[in-house]
Amino acid sequence: MVKCSAITGGIFSRHDIKNHDESSARLYAACAGVPDGIPIIEPEIAKEEDLLRVHTRSHVQMIREFSSHGGLHFIDQSTYVKGESFEVASFAAGAAINAVHRSIDGEHSFALVRPPGHHAEPDRAMGFCLFNNAAIAAAEALDRVDRVAIIDWDLHHGNGTQKIFNRDDRVLYCSIHQGNIYPHTGWVDEIGMGKGKGYTINAPLRPGSTIADYRFVFERAFVPALEKFRPDAVIVSAGQDALSDDPKSGMLLFPGDFSTLTRMMQDATDHPLALVLEGGYGPSHGDAIAAIFSALKGSFDLLEPEGEPHRTTQEIVAALNKLTT
């Protein structure tokens, strides 16, 4: 059995606004799903040079500058910086780095962190995200391995991660998300550019999609892409805001469905997974985290799917197969 760990700590409560969607309360709810017996690893802070692997120097300096002033600063209507935000976001990136190193060394590891990261672009903070944790971890991993895959199952498209690796053939980025919602990117024809052409795969699904739709995309698009790419490390941008009870969701996933997605990733690669928390705001988020760990520990068998994927999902997969072959 492959070992599992969780990386989290009290530092992540210091970037906080009560009653904001992205508050420390949602991380507490997620961490409640970590099963007994899972080692909890204290996070380590990322160095500035780690952040600069994917972000511009001016962006890093801007977040530091806003934090140094104290008080509360809104970068956009939903993304804020407070006095300790630079430090907290650096710890989030450091936890993601630790998770990917642990996975390369043979251990499933879940960085349960905040603020999330996948919307953060090289020179822009947005969508609650200050630094792109998963992208920083992938860039760090490329010092040790040749190819990294990032699977993003958050409700929203990871525009920042896509932009960072858009021209890089060493990183395969696969995102399944609800189409035509924030940040209004992640369309089927966004497949990368230059050397990176064909290494971005986006599946923007219609509202009301179920695990039958997600599983169809994974089986017919993501898993074949992983098998062809043969990554040396796999990072999951693990946002569970596609749950049916999540206030942001138009999808119909349930906690156990995240066991299915996790198990499919395990079966598609020989490598342990590094997971990095993204979104997730609903009451069953902790149950979804527990379901993910159930699969990581090997105590979940892949079940036969119930229901059929929507016709639009089948059309998306057919289009993806034409674009990426």
- Given a contact cutoff of 8 angstroms between Cβ atoms, the answer to whether 8 and 95 are in contact is yes
- Given a contact cutoff of 8 angstroms between Cβ atoms, the answer to whether 152 and 185 are in contact is no
- Count CA atoms within 13 Å of residue 257 on its CB side: 25
Q: 181 is written with which tokens? A: 């919602």
**CA dihedral angle for residue 93, residue 116, residue 30, residue 4, rounded to 10 degrees:** -40
Q: Is the dihedral of CA 276, 280, 285, 286 positive or negative?
A: positive
- SS3 of 200, please? strand
CA distances from 226 to 5, 187, 244, 259 (A): 24, 20, 28, 19
Catalytic annotation on 119?
yes
- Given a contact cutoff of 8 angstroms between Cβ atoms, the answer to whether 180 and 196 are in contact is no
Nearest to 63 by CA among 44, 76, 82, 78: 82
Q: Which residue is catalytic, options 55, 119, 156, 285?
A: 119
- Given a contact cutoff of 8 angstroms between Cβ atoms, the answer to whether 83 and 126 are in contact is no
- Given a contact cutoff of 8 angstroms between Cβ atoms, the answer to whether 232 and 146 are in contact is yes
Q: Is the dihedral of CA 223, 265, 285, 175 positive or negative?
A: negative
- Given a contact cutoff of 8 angstroms between Cβ atoms, the answer to whether 183 and 192 are in contact is no
By annotation, the residues acting in catalysis are 119
